[in-house]
Copies of this chain bind each other. A is one copy, B any other.
Amino acid sequence: MSKRGLILVISGFSGVGKGTVVRRLMEAHDNYALSVSVTTRTPRAGEVHGKDYFFISEEEFSAMEAEGKLMEWAGYVGRHYGTPRDYVFERLEEGKDMILEIEVQGALQIREKYPEAILVFVAPPGAAVLKERLLGRGTESIEQVEKRLARAVEESGAMESYDYLLINDDLMTCVEELHQIARCEHRKMQVNRELMNDIKIDLKRFVEGE
């Protein structure tokens, strides 16, 4: 099984519960690490630099972008968000499977730049369930919920660019399915070229040494 980590991109409609899926996955298995994004917005109460986000200036963000140090980035209400390449790649080298919980726009950038990345789309068992979950949060007005649902319709157009489709019906089932996807991806021939070559060399030497 390949030892280098995988880039796992997790996307899904707002309210589908992908944050919870990712948190539970990391609690249950220690081979994962979550990417920490850079952002130019100001920290909210309780947010920790280097844990929730790396809070940087617009100038620093522009410099990172210009130097190719962002794997993907997006703008949202005048602020910028991005995935820092070095942070992710250092952990991949350590063998961590890096989880990028990002929106479809960012996921499509990753697909383009890192074809080896694995893109997983988490969908709800139905639109009505999605609405219930959004309302269940109790933090948003009905107008905000309807905006999120309308956005989900738009985002659904990008689903076919993903590698895998998971339905978050039962939380822990979804978590384990995601874990199995990562495990299977570690058995792909293309990430095991070193092992494959070791097998070839071992066989050849053994037969020649007979």
How many A residues have CB within 8 A of the partner chain? Answer: 44
A195 within 8 A of B: yes
* Complex-state Cα separation, A126 to B205, whole angstroms: 11
Interface locus among A34-42, A62-70, A99-107, A185-193: A185-193
Decide: A149 and B203 in contact? CB cutoff 8 A. Answer: yes
Q: Is A53 an interface residue (CB 8 A)?
A: no
A189 contact from B130, B157, B160, B185, Cβ within 8 A: B160
Q: Does A28 contact B (CB under 8 A)?
A: no
Looking at chain A's contact residues, is the secondary structure mostly helix, strand, loop, or mixed?
helix
Taking the closest CB of chain B, its distance from the CB of A19, in whole angstroms, is 20
Q: Are B203 and A188 in contact (CB under 8 A)?
A: no
- For A163, what are the chain B residues with a Cβ–Cβ distance below 8 Å? 188-189
A116 at the interface (CB under 8 A from B): no
Residue of B nearest to A142 (CB): B210
B180 touches A164 (CB 8 A): no
On whether the beta carbons of B165 and A195 are closer than 8 Å, the reply is: yes
Task: Say whether A45 faces chain B, with CB atoms less than 8 Å apart.
Answer: no
In the complex, what distance in Å separates the CA atom of A149 from the CA atom of B163? 38
A77 beta carbon closer than 8 Å to chain B: no
- Judged by a CB distance under 8 angstroms, whether A74 is at the interface is no
The 5 sampled A-B contact pairs (Cβ below 8 Å) are: A127-B203, A127-B205, A150-B207, A159-B199, A165-B195
